[in-house]
A and B are shown apart, each in its own frame.
Chain A
């Protein structure tokens, strides 16, 4: 089974020219994928909301209007107001900035540490690999969300610590993924040739190995952004993530719990926002995987 995999990989990427043509095949495949298209459109809307929040919503999303507190959706407040009379629409729009910032930050932390360490671990093997892998085992012994919880307990609450905690919990996933891919690519003929001709290790890793493990990294990045949004919203909901008055979707749901009895709208809309944002990354991630990395699962 493994042999077959390596062989097909060989044919795919014997020379640089082949990589280009396989990636353009991938793009063509991605464009035909309707689910990925829907994901892409949702994602675009999400990014427009995040960047355009001040244009789309005039006024301060954290300014209270106590006379209109817990108002159901109406002409003035399209999605109603929360317990302090703040526009839920406004808070969701500004919340999209916060969640996008978290998603980018978290995946950034994961990539920044996970990819180089994974490359080193897979390429050099031996003792380096052994030590890195035991460290990864240690982090993976805790389910991701619980690791993030534990780190929040140490670092404290807030936006920055939310990003760091969730980011660290993602690092082992990237290390494993990259290392696994490097192990197969390392044995390829072109890597051997580069090594035989005396190319420096750093050059081999960056020019020959990294481009060939990019596809799974990109897929994981898209799916990871979805997970980051879910985790951050979970921490916010528990009251140990981003703190009020910053508009954050999870903490909006957390404070809505006390009022949802008679006013279900306060709990409904922030949840839909989280759902659509995560869905867009998952749809896109699935599409990217089908197009560029069809052999892997989940």
Chain B
């Protein structure tokens, strides 16, 4: 297990380098002087000059990249052109909100999506199966921001049961969580269904049935356990979609998270913040993929020994 863990951790390094390389060149692809771009339109010539020396823009590119990495390691992402606060501080203030929202959404998606997929697979071509299939197709076709707006119109404005936006109590969490989970729950249900269908036709399930085992036991102990790997893969992959969806959901519900920060920064051309928050999203996604791999190894011992 430790070997596997080490191997997996080592494999992350090139990905991390890739992410930083992409972001490093992102700023340099913009027309104009990177120092001016980072400082913002309103900056004084002294500020621009300070950033220029700080970034070492008169040095060769590989030294610039090395110093960029060095600053990253020290969590120095520069200053926001809009607020003049350190970028890392802006990100820290919002990251917990995004993580909270994403975790609630992925939990809800699993809690509803996996059972829905199992029920659909156990009774294929029944009305339950059609219901799950159609509902999940609707789920993946619906724009999350529109669903959010519709939920807001019904539950906040018409019925006045839940707050329309902002943050604070658990009540504020409900609508954004449902909105964000809708898309992912559909994917998870679809994947669970097809994975379970495949496993349920295997010989060992037939054997278990012919031994006279209870159907519930067969489904949970024999089938689900073996169908889990593709399901976990999809949950991990969907986390990426979830982060993308978080940008939209946070905008709809005025949720002060990282997604909202990116959009505001793009609108204000605050490139230091854009660079920093996209970096954090990339890291978060890489981390989730790592956790997914570790869960694989935990669920399926065969993977550990490969």
A residues with a Cβ closer than 8 A to B are 35, 134, 137-139, 141-146, 149-150, 152-154, 226, 230, 233-234, 237-240, 250, 253, 256-257, 260-261, 264, 267-268, 270-271, 274-275, 278-279, 282-283, 286, 297-298
Contact = CB atoms under 8 A, between A and B. Distances in A.
Given A141-B282, A141-B285, A261-B157, A153 B274 contact: yes
A233 B30 CA distance: 25
A143 B146 contact: no
B247 interface: yes
B29 interface: yes
B136 to A, nearest CB: 10
Contact of B153 (A230, A260, A278, A297): A260
Contacts of A230: 143
Contacts of B187: 298
B14 A146 contact: no
Given A234-B143, A275-B146, 12 more contacts: A138-B21, A141-B19, A142-B281, A145-B241, A146-B282, A149-B263, A152-B266, A153-B266, A238-B247, A253-B145, A264-B153, A267-B146
Interface of B: 14-15, 18-19, 21-22, 26, 29-30, 137-138, 140-147, 149-150, 152-153, 157, 187, 190-191, 194-195, 230, 234, 240-241, 243-245, 247-248, 251-252, 262-263, 265-267, 271, 274, 278, 281-282, 285-286
Given A261-B157, A274-B143, A298-B191, A138 B22 contact: yes
B143 A141 contact: no
A62 B170 CA distance: 42
A233 B278 CA distance: 20
Contact of B244 (A146, A153, A279): A146
Main secondary structure of the interface of B (DSSP, over half): helix
B247 A137 contact: no
Given A149-B247, A238-B251, A282 B140 contact: yes
Contacts of B21: 138
B145 A146 contact: no
B152 to A, nearest CB: 8
B149 A145 contact: no
B15 A278 contact: no
Contacts of B157: 260-261
Given A138-B19, A237-B251, A264-B153, A143 B285 contact: yes
Contacts of A146: 243-244, 247, 262, 278, 281-282
B190 A271 contact: no
A278 B141 contact: yes
A143 B281 contact: yes
A144 B240 contact: yes
A127 to B, nearest CB: 15
A234 B137 contact: no
Contact of A238 (B29, B263, B285): B263
A143 B241 contact: yes
A298 B190 contact: yes
10 contacts: A141-B286, A144-B241, A150-B274, A234-B248, A238-B247, A250-B145, A271-B143, A271-B146, A298-B187, A298-B191
